[in-house]
Amino acid sequence: EKSKTTFFSKLSKAVAGKSKVDDDVLDNLEEVLVTSDVGVDTTLKIIERIEARVAKDKYMGTDELNIILREEIAGLLSETNLGDATEISIPEGVRPYVIMVVGVNGVGKTTTIGKLAHQFKNKGFKVVLGAADTFRAAAIDQLQVWADRVDVPIVKQKMGSDPASVAFDTLSSAVSQGADVVIIDTAGRLHNKVNLMNELTKVKRVMQKVVENTPHEVLLVLDGSTGQNAFEQAKQFTKATEVTSLAVTKLDGTAKGGVVIGISDQFQIPVKYIGVGEGIEDLQVFNKYEFVDSFFSNKS
C-alpha cells in the first residue's frame, strides 16, 4: 500500500490547483502503467484523457484526482463491464448453455474450467465437461481430476482423437442428460499456427450440428503475466472463434495483467473473471476498479 499512497499523494501535489499536469507526474504515471503491462499505446491514450480532464476541470483535490484516474483507466475497459458483477450468466431457456474455453499454451484454461464448473454447480446448474484437449500429455487426466473434485460428469475419448468429435459427443451427452451448462476444454495453441486455429473453427462448426448457435460463449484465457503479445492472441482467437469474454489468470503473483485494458478497449470484449490461485475457489468475478487499483499498490 505504500507505493500506492506515495503515488497518489505525489500526483495530487503536482496537480492540485493547477490546470495542467506537470511532466514529472505524467512520467510517474507512465511508469506505473507501462510496468503493469498496459502498453505504450494505451498508456498514451490514458495520459491524454487525464490531461484533457485536468485542463477542463481545473482545480482538483486528492480525492477527485484519484477518482478521475480510476475512471479514465477503467473507462477503457469494455462498456459491458459496469464495475458490478460481470460473471457469465446462464440465460433461461437456452439449454445446454455451451462455453468453449480457448487460449495459448499454459495460460490456465483447464484450471479455470475446474473453478468455473465449481461455481456453476454451486448455483445449482447441472454441468458437463468436455475434454477436447486430446493433444497435450495427460490433459484428459488433468480435466478428469477437476471433474472428480467438482463432482461433475466429463465426456472424453482417447488421447490423440479428434477434438471436434469429443466436442460433438459432449454436446450430445449433455442434451440427453438434460444438462444446463457445458464447458469445453481445448488444447493450448499459439495463435500464429494457422492449422491449429482452423481446428478451433472446426470444433465450433461441429458443435453446431448438435445444438444451434453454439458455443454461446467463447472464453479466451489470458495469462496475467503476459506482455504485449496478448494483443495478438486476442486478435487471432477472435478471428478464429469470435471470443465473447476474457479471463485473466495468475493475478495472485506480482504481474498486473494491464494488457487487458487495451485489449478490452480495442476488441470490445469484457473481462469476466480473474484467476487468483490454483485452488478450486480461486476464481473471482472481475471488478474493474479493484483491478485498476492494483496497479498502484505494491504486493511485493
Partner 1 sequence: MFDNLSEKLDKALHVLKGHGQITEINVAETTKEVRRALLDADVNFKIAKEFTNRVKEKALGQNVLTTLQPGQLMVKIVKDELTELMGGETEGINLSGNPSVILMSGLQGSGKTTFSGKLANFLKKKKSKNPLLVACDVYRPAAIDQLHVVGDQIGVEVYSDKGNSDPVAIAKAGIDHAKQNGYNVVIIDTAGRLAVDEKMMDEISDIHKAIQPQETLFVVDSMTGQDAVNTAKAFNDILNFDGVILTKLDGDTRGGAAISIKSVVDKPIKFIGTGEKMEAIDVFHPSRMADRILGMGDVISLVERA
Ligand X SMILES: Nc1nc2c(ncn2[C@@H]2O[C@H](COP(=O)(O)OP(=O)(O)OP(=O)(O)O)[C@@H](O)[C@H]2O)c(=O)[nH]1
- Report the alpha-carbon distance of residue 99 to residue 218 in Å, rounded: 6
Structural contact between residues 88 and 203, judged by C-beta atoms closer than 8 angstroms = no
CB of 192 to ligand X, least distance (A): 10
Residue 49 interacts with which of ligand X, partner 1, Mg ion, none, CB < 5 to 8 Å by class: none
Q: Rounded to the nearest 5 degrees, what angle is found at the Cα of 182, between the Cα atoms of 132 and 278?
A: 70
Question: For residue 33, what are the contacts with CB-CB under 8 A and spacing of at least 6?
Answer: 42, 43, 46, 73, 258, 295
CB of 248 to ligand X, least distance (A): 9
276, 286, 295, 296: residue in contact with ligand X (rule CB under 6 A): 276
CB of 19 to partner 1, least distance (A): 26
Query: Is residue 86 at the binding interface for Mg ion, with CB under 5 A as the rule?
Result: no
Query: Is residue 243 at the binding interface for partner 1, with CB under 8 A as the rule?
Result: no
Question: For residue 162, what are the contacts with CB-CB under 8 A and spacing of at least 6?
Answer: 134
Compose the 144-183 pattern: x for residues touching partner 1 by CB under 8 A, - for all others.
xxx--x---------x------------------------
Which DSSP letter does residue 160 get? Answer: T
- Report the alpha-carbon distance of residue 51 to residue 30 in Å, rounded: 13
- Report the alpha-carbon distance of residue 201 to residue 208 in Å, rounded: 11
Binding site for ligand X (CB under 6 A): 103, 105-111, 133, 136, 139, 188, 190, 249-250, 252, 275-278, 282
Binding site for partner 1 (CB under 8 A): 31, 34-37, 39-40, 104-108, 110, 114, 135-139, 141-142, 144-146, 149, 159, 190-193, 223, 225-232, 250, 252-256, 259, 278, 299-300
